[in-house]
Amino acid sequence: LQTRLQAGQGYGNTLNCVLTVYRNESVAGFFKGMSFPLASIAVYSSVVFGVFSNTQRLLSQLRHGDPARAPVLADVALASMVAGFISVGIGTPVDLVKIRLQMQTQPYIEANIKAKPTVPGFPVYRGPIHCFRTVLQKEGIAGIYRGVGAMLLRDVPGYCLYFIPYTFFCAWTTSDGCVSPSPSSIWLAGGLAGAISWGTATPMDVVKSRLQADGVYLNKYKGTLDCILQSYQNEGLKVFFRGTTVNAVRGFPMSSAMFLGYELSLKAMKRDQTETNP
């Protein structure tokens, strides 16, 4: 729904988008492009959380000489920015394939650019592997990383608004004297952080989605700035807030589960290490 609302045409609101997708493509339409993100989410999340936690430990070591010491706000912010920067290298190709698969049967909208010979409304790609290989062959590495600038502008500040609120809410909901937050505190803090991060990242998420969807039938945008200007000139400021509700709503349960899994895994590994090395 998020991609259709941001990069598609003819959807008035979220409910209309749901009904249109179901009417035209049945239930299968809601799961288009899912296999590639599903196959890569474990690696992606491991890299993001691994980079974040290890950067925090490194900064604590450099600043205080103790990697286990609780990081200050500046360290959390810097670690978040590093994690966001690194995540783009993995996330951009995955998002591009997902969006191309989701948008390839969308109606063709006239533009002042000559269309490709592919017939709009019919699938261009047979699946995620075929999509990746086709884009790589026709557009090269630059095609695979189309929208990387917009994704950097989304993820670097976005991860700051992901990890900083999580750290704050965990501290706020944890009782004095407790060594670590409870699972319920982690779940709530993670969900609120995800909703905040995804909600505020929507404007650049719109730009990224449009850049990556562009190229299935025609190339309308020359780059990030051109996409911003064209979108604003044609549809006004409100276009940059398309999909905000969907982003915020999906961000809560997704981030709750991710943070809870991360924290419980860390606790389990630390307990195993303690039992192995008493």
Judgement on whether residues 272 and 193 belong to the same structural domain of the protein: yes
Judgement on whether residues 85 and 194 belong to the same structural domain of the protein: no
Judgement on whether residues 133 and 173 belong to the same structural domain of the protein: no
Of 145, 172, 188, which residue constitutes the final position of a domain? 145
Q: What is the mean pLDDT of residues 123-152?
A: 88
Single pTM value for the model: 0.81
Judgement on whether residues 106 and 163 belong to the same structural domain of the protein: no
Q: Read off the pLDDT of residues 42-70 as tens digits, 9 standing for 90 and up.
A: 888 889 999 999 999 999 888 878 877 88
Residue 169 lies in a domain: yes
Which CA distances in Å does 168 have to 70, 136, 177, 186, 261?
A: 13, 42, 17, 11, 19
pLDDT of res. 52: 94
Number of separate domains in the chain: 2
Cα distance between residue 11 and residue 115, in whole Å: 23
Q: Is 164 left (phi over 0), alpha (psi -120 to 50) or beta?
A: alpha
Does 37 or 58 have the greater pLDDT score? 58
pLDDT(116) > 60: no
Judgement on whether residues 98 and 190 belong to the same structural domain of the protein: no
Does 110 or 204 have the greater pLDDT score? 204
Residue 94 lies in a domain: yes
pLDDT(118) > 80: no
Residue 126 lies in a domain: yes
Judgement on whether residues 202 and 268 belong to the same structural domain of the protein: yes
Q: What is the mean pLDDT of residues 106-117?
A: 44
pLDDT band at 127 (very low <50, low <70, confident <90, very high): confident
pLDDT(233) > 50: yes
pLDDT of res. 38: 74
pLDDT of res. 56: 92
Residue 252 is part of a domain; what is its CATH number?
1.50.40.10
pLDDT(122) > 60: no
Residue 25 lies in a domain: no
pLDDT of res. 83: 96
Domain holding 156, by residue range, is 148-277
Of 89, 121, 145, which residue constitutes the final position of a domain? 145
Q: Read off the pLDDT of residues 77-103 as tens digits, 9 standing for 90 and up.
A: 999 999 999 999 999 999 999 888 887
Q: What is the mean pLDDT of residues 145-173?
A: 93
* Residue in the structure block whose two tokens are 């190229």: 215
Q: What is the mean pLDDT of residues 183-188?
A: 91
Residue 251 lies in a domain: yes
pLDDT band at 277 (very low <50, low <70, confident <90, very high): low
Residue 16 lies in a domain: no
Residue 227 lies in a domain: yes
Judgement on whether residues 152 and 71 belong to the same structural domain of the protein: no
Of 77, 110, 145, which residue constitutes the final position of a domain? 145
pLDDT of res. 37: 73
Judgement on whether residues 184 and 163 belong to the same structural domain of the protein: yes
Which CA distances in Å does 275 have to 97, 182, 256?
A: 44, 22, 29
Residue 54 lies in a domain: yes
> Do 146 and 94 touch, CB atoms closer than 8 A?
no
Judgement on whether residues 131 and 48 belong to the same structural domain of the protein: yes
Judgement on whether residues 136 and 156 belong to the same structural domain of the protein: no
Judgement on whether residues 140 and 152 belong to the same structural domain of the protein: no
Judgement on whether residues 162 and 108 belong to the same structural domain of the protein: no
